[in-house]
Structure 1
């Protein structure tokens, strides 16, 4: 009886149908033959390119948190604030729940995601499995939907437009850095991290 290596197989996460993995071409999307769910996307980024992308996102993330995001002007007086300045202001105004959610989804979750992916890719580029691989991958699975930089950027732009009725409002570099960060996070979020599982399975054989 012939045997097939585990990394040559794919299991649909929706209906548990087992498929034989095959090489994909540019723009191709693997679909489950039984339920039509997406199995994987073609991507051309190798671990080195992905790591460079994550490091770029980390640099932009630091800038987005250091630079002011908006400046408000009224009667000749201007006031600007950073993301953390806004979070602290919400906390002081008895909006602690909103402040905690904003800090988690806009700072801590994206930071953990970038550091975790960077850690995994640092070893993947050497064809090695990173220490703590399984708990890190599980953590990435759960925090993935909670990195909401794109929601923040859209909400901030809407607020800026509405606030122009009452104030002189100017978008500062921080909001543009968050917009760039959103694009970068979207790019490497679409990369199928299950390839790292396949690498780990090869090492365990």
Structure 2
């Protein structure tokens, strides 16, 4: 029996290409629409799993530790992400509070959980139960995780608040900064490659 060629299909215009090996840093693009077809995968599955576990630990620290401590006339006050969300909700900014909770907690949590789930099985070369749904959800959730936007806002707020208060960055903001770095690393990696690196296992 003749083996079927290794093909890749553009998800935007459905043009079919023959897959080829990509060198480090190389990106394959569709000649018709310019969409990214595939990136060189410089992280192995074990390395990805280690990073996602690190992201999970940092995510917990970021959400339970104070983001910033403000000092004024000998008095100190600090708050966590959820303290800020609750304060905004109580002040009548429910929409902003809800968006903050979604983009900084729930969507990143979904990303970390689903990545950890599929990678746990992918380390054995298997597809996790619900693999297709998990991969589809990751693609849809990815644009809504906006931790880097939050970090930019925090930096601007700290600079402005420093004019009136003694400002000390807390462990939470450092954790969010490290989490931003980890998410940036994952953003440079194409999770679709897991379809080729794993196989369906009947249970």
Structure 1 moving runs of 4+ over 4 Å: none
Deviation at 1:3?
5.6
- Scaled by the length of structure 1, the TM-score of the pair is 0.92
CA distance in 1, matches of 2:34, 2:88: 45
- In the alignment, does 2:34 pair up with 1:36? yes
CA distance in 1, matches of 2:134, 2:116: 11
Tell me what 1:158 maps to: 156
Pick from 113, 123, 126: which aligns with 2:124? 126
Tell me what 2:109 maps to: 111
CA distance in 2, matches of 1:24, 1:193: 15
CA distance in 1, matches of 2:32, 2:143: 26
Q: Structure 1, unaligned stretches of length 5 or more?
A: none
Aligned-residue Cα RMSD (Å) equals 1.7
Deviation at 1:19?
0.4
Residue 14 of structure 1 aligns to a residue whose secondary structure is coil
Deviation at 1:13?
2.2
Residue 196 of structure 2 aligns to a residue whose secondary structure is helix
- Scaled by the length of structure 2, the TM-score of the pair is 0.93
How many residues align structurally? 201
Pick from 191, 196, 199: which aligns with 1:198? 196
Deviation at 1:173?
1.6
Pick from 19, 22, 39: which aligns with 1:21? 19
Deviation at 1:199?
4.0
Pick from 99, 102, 110: which aligns with 1:101? 99
Contact 1:29/1:40 (8 A) holds in 2: yes
Segment drifting more, 20-29 vs 33-42: 33-42
Deviation at 1:37?
2.4
Deviation at 1:71?
0.9
Tell me what 1:4 maps to: 4
Residue 22 of structure 2 aligns to a residue whose secondary structure is coil
Tell me what 1:46 maps to: 44
Contact 1:129/1:199 (8 A) holds in 2: no
Q: Structure 2, unaligned stretches of length 5 or more?
A: none
Tell me what 1:184 maps to: 182
